[in-house]
């Protein structure tokens, strides 16, 4: 069986370095907010080209804390609106709802699956305060056009970079393409911890300080509480694992690009639509997503040939029970995407020989 993603194999590559890093933390006697956390924050900020990184407990918290900080800073208020793509993973939308803000869904481009910037302006109202572009599947959004609209209407741009560590737009990496960016280090992400983890990057010092305090009970100075904060921390062991894996991230992205290029060049099946990209550097291939009207059939066929695939995602956010207020709304492009997409195996350790076998089976379908 070719698994969709073999995390054991990915982490086994770095086993001795991970063990060494973990041992160092165990022996240090310091397990939360110590030197590993601080070093990781510095290294990740440098990697993204952003001034500040704030380690937090997970990707959802990263997005929640950015919005929460803007509320504390007086930039957003209950009931304000945030524009978000209608086909994103639910976490982007939850981060908005959890702050008593209103998610306003905008359809994606059917070719790239990314927020369609040409449809943003018609959704802007006097309550709109931010746009949240999601670099879905690992490809950066049309950031020049999005930032231009944001500037015109005085909106914040909050990147959801949970799937796109290392992806470029022109000469800048995600994490440095808007006002703030949320990252996830969930084990299956391109930069994955061995548990949960997340981070915010930004160039805004005031925002960085506010988020840092909010994730630490609302406190900047011990026992002095500026805000009604929460506890959201990236622990020392996860930070130490991430420092090891960050060193190999670009290598893994290279491997993903090789696999993606092989798929793009060699999958020849008229039932299948391959992903489109604007520039090779813009895509880090967190997922290799194809589209076909015979999706469920193809998935079964591949499984019967020992190839595991997944669907990202099977049900559009506006069709979820959690958002029953959107039950009667229609987002036809999203619905089509949710009905037709299928994610093929891809990772930083997948071999071309294996990919070749997968392609042969797909082409024979
Ligand atoms: C994974 C993911 C998140 C949430 O990250 P967690 O670390 O799982 O909380 C948010 N947005 C997108 C697009 C994601 O893929």
Q: Best of 57, 162, 188 to mutate for ligand 1, by most ligand atoms within 8 A of CB?
A: 162
Candidates 334, 336, 283, 345; CA nearest to 310 is 345
Candidates 4, 2, 10; CA nearest to 193 is 10
Q: What is the pLDDT of residues 12-25, one digit of tens each?
A: 999 999 999 999 99
Instruction: Specify the pairing of strand 81-85 against strand 219-221.
Output: unpaired
Q: What is the pLDDT of residues 40-96, one digit of tens each?
A: 999 999 999 999 999 999 999 999 999 999 999 999 999 999 999 999 999 999 999
- Cα distances (Å, whole numbers) of residue 179 to 113, 156, 157, 170, 215: 22, 6, 5, 17, 19
Cis peptide bond N-terminal to 262, omega within 30 = no
**Residues ≥6 apart with Cβ < 8 Å to 51:** 45, 202, 203, 205, 208
Confidence of residue 311 (pLDDT cuts 50, 70, 90): very high
pLDDT of amino acid 19: 98
* Rounded (10°) CA dihedral 104, 109, 115, 121: -60
Rounded to the nearest angstrom, the gap between the alpha carbon of residue 12 and the centroid of all alpha carbons in its chain is: 24
> What spacing in Å lies between the alpha carbon of 133 and ligand 1's midpoint?
13
> What spacing in Å lies between the alpha carbon of 227 and ligand 1's midpoint?
25
| pLDDT over 90 at 278, yes or no | no
- Cα distances (Å, whole numbers) of residue 121 to 81, 84, 148, 259, 301: 13, 12, 11, 37, 42
Ligand 1 pocket, residue 238 CB under 6 Å: no
Q: What is the pLDDT of residues 223-263, one digit of tens each?
A: 999 999 999 999 999 999 999 999 999 999 999 999 999 99
pTM of the model: 0.98
| Complete edge-to-edge strand list for the sheet that includes strand 198-202 | 52-56, 198-202, 180-184, 156-160, 128-131, 81-85, 102-106
> What spacing in Å lies between the alpha carbon of 88 and ligand 1's midpoint?
10
8 Å CB contact between 317 and 90: yes
> What spacing in Å lies between the alpha carbon of 213 and ligand 1's midpoint?
22
> In angstroms, rounded to a whole number, what is the distance separating the alpha carbons of residues 359 and 354?
9
> In angstroms, rounded to a whole number, what is the distance separating the alpha carbons of residues 70 and 80?
11
């Amino acid at each position: 069986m070719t698994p969709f993603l073999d995390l054991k194999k990915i982490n086994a590559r770095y086993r001795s370095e991970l063990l060494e890093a973990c041992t160092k933390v165990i022996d240090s006697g310091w397990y939360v907010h110590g030197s590993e956390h601080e070093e990781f924050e510095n290294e990740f900020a440098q990697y993204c080209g952003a001034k500040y990184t704030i380690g937090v407990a997970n990707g959802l918290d990263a997005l929640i804390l950015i919005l929460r900080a803007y509320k504390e800073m007086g930039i957003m208020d209950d009931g304000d609106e945030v524009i978000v793509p209608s086909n994103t993973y639910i976490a982007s939308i939850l981060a908005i709802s959890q702050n008593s803000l209103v998610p306003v869904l905008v359809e994606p481009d059917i070719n790239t699956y990314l927020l369609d910037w040409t449809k943003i302006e018609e959704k802007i109202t006097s309550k709109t305060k931010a746009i949240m572009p999601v670099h879905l599947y690992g490809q950066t959004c049309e950031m020049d056009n999005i930032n231009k609209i944001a500037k015109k209407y005085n909106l914040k741009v909050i990147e959801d970079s949970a799937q796109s560590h290392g992806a470029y737009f022109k000469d800048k990496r995600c994490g440095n393409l808007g006002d703030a960016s949320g990252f996830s280090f969930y084990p299956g992400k391109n930069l994955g911890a061995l548990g949960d983890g997340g981070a915010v990057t930004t160039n805004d010092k005031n925002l960085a300080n506010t988020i840092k305090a909010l994730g630490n009970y609302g406190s900047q100075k011990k026992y002095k509480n500026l805000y009604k904060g929460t506890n959201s921390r990236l622990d020392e062991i996860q930070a130490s694992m991430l420092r090891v894996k960050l060193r190999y991230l670009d290598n893994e992205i290279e491997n993903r690009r090789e696999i993606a290029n092989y798929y793009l060049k060699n999958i020849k099946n008229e039932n299948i639509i391959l992903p489109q990209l604007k520039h090779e550097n813009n895509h880090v291939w967190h997922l290799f997503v194809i589209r076909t009207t015979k999706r469920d059939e193809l998935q079964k066929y591949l499984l019967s040939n020992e190839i595991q695939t997944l669907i990202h995602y099977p049900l559009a956010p506006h069709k979820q029970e959690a958002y029953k207020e959107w039950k009667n709304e229609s987002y036809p492009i999203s619905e089509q995407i949710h009905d037709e997409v299928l994610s093929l195996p891809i990772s930083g350790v997948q071999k071309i020989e294996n990919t070749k076998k997968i392609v042969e089976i797909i082409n024979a379908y």
